[in-house]
A and B are shown apart, each in its own frame.
Chain A
Amino acid sequence: MSDPTKPNDPLLREHGRKGITRRGFLKGAGLTAAGTALLEGVQAFNSEAATSTNSEVTELGPGPVPVRLHVNGKEHAVSIEPRTTLAEALRIHLGMTGTKIICDRGACSGCTVWLDKVPVNSCMMLAVDAIGHEVTTIEGLSTESEPHPLQAAFVKHDAMQCGFCTPGMVMSCAALLEKNPHPSEHDVRHAIAGNLCRCGTYPRVFSATLEAAGNMRRA
């Protein structure tokens, strides 16, 4: 494990480290947390990890910890290492691969999910920090029988090419419509300012979102 106190000198002749990674740092440091939501989440699961009662600080990990996550209206019990990001927990542990990991450092919004209806980058958040919150993913936006009006508008306007950024785009735009039923194109541009699309589909994301807003207002 990298020693975070030493600089990562690229000219070291014997050198097998990848430098300091966020995940490595978290694991090396263990994870201490005093958040009540976190404690409730792990205690509700009767976790051994949460039995440290004679201290105000609870230490989890570095091994897997059982937690409960509320995702798309259902409670899921998963066993994850505390360093697991929400994006990884969704994709790897819950099999919800609609949420994409693209930059893995909060620069592209491909991993956008809602935390209590607020869009967040799920790659920048630990899964344990989502305990006690309602997570909504792209899989939870529509029902089996009926797509969200925004999803229908995305298809109609061809607001996608390869489609890899699309779930994040949809989650960002749908969050905008929750908050602002009368968006302007400027509002849409602002709402997806962090969502990168390499195929260059932005113009059609604008038009799809504006049309969906109109349809939702009429509905």
Chain B
Amino acid sequence: MSDNATIHVHLNGKEREVASAHTVHSLIESLELHPSLVVVELNREILPREAYGDVPVREGDTIELVHFVGGG
């Protein structure tokens, strides 16, 4: 990774610095999550799972990664 190879995103409510080369899929994997168990909202739009590998993560993106937890 070169020096300028990072971008800033709003990820799950926090500012994060991530590699600029990431697709949504590779970002999820870099966080050690299973893409099949995560739903992605990119800039308030739900991203279909089949698009994870094609969509690049861009500077300033707002990304929400959600999943199912215990609840009533």
Do they bind each other? Answer: no
| A interface residues (Cβ-Cβ under 8 A, vs B) | none
